[in-house]
Amino acid sequence: MTQALIVVDVQESFRQGPRWASVSVPDVADRVSRLVGAARDRGDTVIWVLHAEPGTGGPFDPASGLVRMMDGLEPRPGEPVLTKTTRNAFTSTELQRLLTVAGIRELTVCGIQTEQCCETTTRVAADLGYDVVFVTEATATFPIPHRSAADRPWDEILADPRTLGTAAIVERTEYALAGRFATIRTVAEVVGR
């Protein structure tokens, strides 16, 4: 077993607030569940990652009760569940140690957010020498406001022509990762292999 599926931040925290209505992949948990099932069937390691911002009082604060997997996603006994406080899943967790001890060299990354925690985890993994598959179809993101409009209400952000849409974010992420940091694959390609 030299492969692992890394499920990044597919957690209830993201469903809070108005942005969830604009998510690029509303059924991200279902898509991730397909990848998890296929990984388990192959005997691959499944590693779950949650993002926490302790003491903030927001939806990523563990005290909120929302720093947990989305409904339909359930780690099995023995599957590591790591909690990170950084954008990538390596810096603030024991992910690299777990992978090294298990002899894992190939990773498949999915989760939330496409261009943030998923892409950053992928870049760090590649720099550490892992072969990475990035399943864009099983990642989700949200429109990004222009830097000068970030504090405006969500409906104004969506109406602003400077807001970067999810299709552009996904396209940029794939361009940045493909051939440099990862191989881009579809859910069907990963499940079927």
Q: Which residues are catalytic?
A: 117
- Taking each continuous run of H as one helix and of E as one strand, the counts in the chain are 6, 6
First to last CA, the chain: 15
Nearest of 124, 110, 122, 48 to residue 82 by alpha carbon: 48
Burial category of 3 from C-beta neighbours within 10 Å (exposed 0-12, middle 13-18, buried 19 and up): middle
Residue pair 67/83 in contact by the 8 Å Cβ criterion: yes
Buried b or exposed e, range 107-141, using 16+ CB within 10 angstroms: bbbbbbbbbbbbbbbbbbbbeeebebbbbbbbbbb
CA distance 162 to 192: 39
Burial category of 5 from C-beta neighbours within 10 Å (exposed 0-12, middle 13-18, buried 19 and up): buried
